Structures are given as structure tokens and as C-alpha cells.
């Protein structure tokens, strides 16, 4: 069984946003897969995807603090500045976070750890709506 579609995420402010439930609701066919994989690719160069702890909001704040300190806006060494002070740092942060995830499917569900969730990492101040290319495949239940 194969399923492929684009998942549209509404615009969000800069930060780390749990989107697990949005991804799952856009892919009801996962319930029909016994064993398989889900591939997610964010189709943007200034946002990323990551899998991490989904319970404490402190994790999201700490992520943002670390990324902002590691890759500062307004640094005098940026040359790609036409789209604003947050643009080039957003590209670097997206490279660090990554653009894709490959997740296991077991018995009709994502086989994630108890405290794991899918994050949209929005690195622009006003990034706009985001698109994720999702492909699920596996043996039918």
C-alpha cells in the first residue's frame, strides 16, 4: 500500500511547534498499514522538521534559545540579506534541524516513543504556510 500527499500547515510564528496530530489527521490511511514507513519532507529552506520530546514546553523554549544563540540574526558576516535579517540564519538553522523524517509504522500507528512528537521548526519571523510532502508505504493490515 502506498499513500502520498501534501500536508498544508497554517502559518505559525517563529518557534518550535508540535504538529504530530495535524500530520496524523491528514493521513487516516496509516490505520490500514500493519508494518511500514512514513517519510516527511518539509518543502521549504527556512523551516525544518525534527522528532523530540513532546511534553514540556520548556523544551521548545530551550530549542529556540540554543538556535538563536548559535546562529544569530544581524551578524556582520551574513551576505544573503535581501529577504531580511532572519532569512540567512533561518537557512542555517533549517540545515541544522533537517528537512525530513522517516518514521516507522506498526499496527496502524506511528511507532514513536512515549514522549516523542513531530515538530515544525519555524525559523522565520513570518514564514507563512508550510507544506510537507508525506509518503507512507507498507503492508496492509
Percent of the chain exceeding pLDDT 70 equals: 100
Helix 57-70 vs helix 87-97: crossing angle, to nearest 10: 120
On whether the pTM is more than 0.75, the answer is yes
- Which pLDDT belongs to residue 135? 98
Which of 62, 71, 64, 109 has its CA nearest to residue 91?
71
The C-alpha cell at 85 is 535579517
pLDDT grade for 49, boundaries at 50, 70 and 90: very high
Residue 107, classified by CB atoms within 10 Å of its CB into exposed (0-12), middle (13-18) or buried (19+), is exposed
pLDDT score, position 19: 98
At 5, the pLDDT band (50, 70, 90 cuts) reads: very high
Closest by CA to 70, choosing from 41, 43, 99, 95, is: 95
pLDDT at 87: 95
Report how far apart, in Å, the C-alpha atoms of 100 and of each of 18, 34, 40 are.
15, 22, 5
pLDDT digits (tens, 9 = 90+) for 54-86: 999 999 999 999 999 999 999 999 999 989 999
Query: What is the mean predicted confidence (pLDDT) over 10-16?
Result: 97
- Does the domain at 2-140 match CATH 3.30.420.40? Answer given as no
Q: What is the mean pLDDT of residues 77-105?
A: 96
Share of the chain above pLDDT 90, in %: 99
Amino acid at each position: 500500500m502506498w499513500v502520498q500527499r501534501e500536508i498544508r500547515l497554517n502559518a505559525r510564528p517563529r518557534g518550535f511547534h508540535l504538529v504530530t496530530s495535524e500530520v496524523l489527521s491528514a493521513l487516516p490511511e496509516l490505520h490500514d498499514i500493519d508494518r511500514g514507513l512514513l517519510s516527511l519532507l518539509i518543502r521549504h529552506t527556512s523551516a525544518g522538521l525534527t522528532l523530540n520530546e513532546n511534553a514540556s514546553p520548556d523544551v521548545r523554549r530551550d530549542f529556540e534559545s540554543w538556535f538563536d544563540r548559535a546562529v544569530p540574526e544581524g551578524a556582520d558576516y551574513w551576505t544573503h540579506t535581501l529577504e531580511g535579517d532572519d532569512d540567512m540564519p533561518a537557512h542555517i538553522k533549517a540545515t541544522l534541524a533537517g528537512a525530513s523524517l522517516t518514521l516507522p509504522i506498526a499496527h496502524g500507528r506511528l511507532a514513536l516513543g512515549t514522549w516523542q512528537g513531530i515538530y515544525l521548526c519555524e525559523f522565520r519571523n513570518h514564514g507563512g504556510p508550510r507544506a510537507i510532502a508525506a509518503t507512507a508505504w507498507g503492508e496492509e493490515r
